């Protein structure tokens, strides 16, 4: 398999910069997910790696070899699209065998390789069927089989399970990930579905408007978003955002003052030191905290803030209690038995070890 390096690539379509100065280092055997909203440049990036698009600037290296201007067919990479793109008149067996026949493998070798792949994908029982007789999942597996059978250096997968129904997508997520581990493939996987990205990726690269916003493991991206875009995009329900500014309490200690109300949040010594070295006192900040890092209580406790219950969203396994904190609304994740009355006064506490703080002006994370 292969490592893939993108160095400052730029791809334009007329005046539109679809991929803007993208640098990525994809490790050998890594499963890297490209994630981002529609139109952010994911597919274009993948097409540039495959050679279906030629970059306007920058370099692409596969296994140390500069392939920037090399045609797609000479890059030894397999591309699987969302659409199955199988040959309708060929059986599943012949669809998978097709690339080997094109490379003039002998019949016995073809049979051996197709059977190996079919076993891996658990589709031996449908090899005699034509695409129209297959389920969506099996069609996708056949398309994957056709990509795998060539044993390419890397797999590029563009929303390969995007059209399947929700239950089946869950199953295919697991199977695809296991398959890529088993064959030790370097994989670049495009999706706009964050659950898919988080559950499958070794690392995730998140793009917005052609620009890479952050790359990291699912844990890093979830717990340390580098800007407000990432913080907002990842997590369901999303991160709570509270407008605030640095202030001093009566003892001269640095605290955060909520802009919507006359409330103050105490911060840890570590956070005080970080903030002191990075901000000036009139800076506008946004405090970010995930719903599961907020504690809900009907009793006032030390450093808890006064809130009013706004609405309760039940999911069965947990509840989301939406509360009003001054004029801001925040979501608190609780156990499912917590069901306060709407409009009831309550209190919330923040796990200050797990907050994020952003510069409101730039949107970038300060801590
Ligand atoms: P989606 O999730 O909707 O597929 P994406 O993140 O994959 O989106 P791209 O398909 O890479 O985004 O498109 C990035 C931008 O480039 C979009 O604004 C798109 O309209 C534009 N674009 C892509 N291909 C072309 C093309 N061949 N000609 C002109 N514009 C294009």
Q: Output the six-digit token pair for 48.
A: 């540039």
39 Cα to the center of ligand 1, angstroms = 5
Q: Which residues line ligand 1 (CB under 6 A)?
A: 13, 16, 18, 36, 38-44, 192
SS3 content of the chain, % helix, strand, coil (to 5): 30, 35, 35
* pLDDT number for residue 325: 93
Quote the ligand 1 centre to 18 CA distance (angstroms): 7
255 found inside a domain: yes
Q: Ligand 1 mean position to 267 CA, how many Å? A: 44
Domain membership of residue 309 as a residue range: 240-359
User: Residue 347's domain is classified under what CATH number?
Assistant: 2.40.50.140
In whole angstroms, what is the distance from residue 335 CA to residue 309 CA?
A: 16
Pick the closest to residue 50 from 74, 26, 82, 22 (CA basis). 74
In this structure, what token pair is assigned to residue 305?
């803030």
| Distance, CA of 232 to CA of 327 (rounded, Å) | 19
Does any domain span residue 184? no
Element (H, E) at 322: strand 319-325
Q: How many Å lie between the centroid of ligand 1 and the Cα of residue 342?
A: 45
- The pLDDT of residue 205 is 98
Asked if residue 322 is part of any domain, the answer here is yes
Question: For ligand 1, atom 9, which residue shows the shortest CA distance?
Answer: 41
CA of 357 to the centre of ligand 1 (A): 32
Q: Would you say residue 149 lies in a domain?
A: no
- Reported pTM: 0.88
Question: What is the whole-number distance in angstroms between the Cα of residue 43 and the centre of ligand 1?
Answer: 7
Identify whether 292 is part of a domain. Answer: yes
Residue 84: the pLDDT is 63
Average pLDDT for consecutive 10-residue bins of the chain (367 residues)?
92 97 96 95 95 95 92 77 77 94 91 90 92 88 85 84 74 80 86 91 97 97 96 94 89 85 84 76 89 96 93 95 93 95 96 93 91
- Coil, strand or helix: which one is 67? coil
**All residues at 6 or more sequence positions from 244 whose CB lies less than 8 Å from its CB, including other chains:** 256, 257, 258, 259, 265, 285, 286, 287
174 occurs within a structural domain:
no
**Alpha-carbon gap, residue 366 to 285, rounded angstroms:** 9
Among 22, 41, 56, say which to mutate for ligand 1: greatest number of ligand atoms within 8 Å of CB. Answer: 41
What separation in Å is there between the alpha carbon of 230 and the centre of ligand 1? 20
Residue nearest to atom 20 of ligand 1 (CA): 39
For residue 36, the ligand 1 atom closest to its alpha carbon is 6
pLDDT at residue number 248: 86
- Ligand 1: atom nearest CA of 45 is 11
Q: Which of 15, 43, 83 to mutate to test the pocket of ligand 1 (most atoms within 8 A of CB)?
A: 43
How many domains does the structure of the chain reveal?
1
**CB-count burial class (<10 Å; 0-12, 13-18, 19+) for 270:** exposed
The whole-angstrom distance between residue 115's C-alpha and the CA centroid of its chain comes to 34
Query: 317 lies in a domain?
Result: yes
Asked, for residue 330, whether it belongs to a domain, the answer is yes
């Amino acid at each position: 398999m292969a490592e893939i390096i993108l160095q400052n690539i730029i791809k334009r379509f007329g005046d539109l910069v679809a991929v803007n100065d993208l640098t990525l280092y994809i490790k050998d055997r890594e499963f890297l997910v490209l994630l981002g909203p529609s139109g952010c440049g994911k597919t274009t990036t993948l097409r540039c790696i495959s050679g279906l698009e030629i970059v306007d600037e920058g370099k692409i290296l596969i296994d140390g070899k500069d392939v920037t201007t090399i045609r797609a067919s000479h890059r030894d990479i397999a591309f699987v699209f969302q659409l199955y793109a199988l040959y309708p008149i060929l059986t599943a067996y012949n669809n998978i065998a097709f690339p080997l026949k094109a490379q003039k493998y002998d019949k016995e070798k073809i049979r051996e390789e197709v059977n190996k792949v079919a076993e891996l994908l658990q589709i031996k029982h449908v090899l005699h069927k034509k695409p129209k007789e297959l389920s969506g999942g099996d069609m996708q597996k056949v398309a994957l089989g056709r990509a795998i059978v060539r044993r390419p250096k890397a797999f590029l997968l563009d929303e390969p399970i995007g059209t399947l129904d929700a239950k089946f997508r869950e199953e295919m997520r697991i199977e695809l990930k296991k398959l890529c581990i088993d064959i030790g493939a370097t994989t670049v996987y495009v999706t706009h579905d964050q659950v898919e990205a988080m559950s499958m990726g070794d690392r995730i690269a998140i793009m917005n408007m052609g620009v890479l916003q952050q790359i990291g493991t699912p844990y890093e991206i979830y717990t340390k978003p580098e800007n407000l875009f990432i913080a907002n995009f990842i997590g369901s329900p999303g991160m709570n955002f509270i407008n605030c500014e640095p202030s001093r309490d009566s003892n001269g200690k640095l605290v955060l003052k909520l802009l919507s109300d006359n409330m103050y949040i105490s911060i840890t010594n570590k956070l005080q030191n970080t903030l002191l070295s990075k901000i000036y006192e009139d800076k506008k900040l946004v405090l970010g905290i995930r719903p599961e890092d907020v504690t809900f209580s009907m009793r006032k406790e030390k450093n808890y803030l006064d809130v009013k219950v706004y609405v309760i969203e039940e999911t069965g396994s947990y509840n989301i209690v939406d509360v009003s904190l001054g004029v801001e609304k925040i979501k608190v994740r609780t156990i499912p038995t917590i069901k306060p009355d709407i409009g009831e006064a309550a209190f919330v506490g923040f796990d200050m070890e797990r907050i994020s703080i952003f510069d409101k002006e730039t949107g970038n994370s300060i801590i």
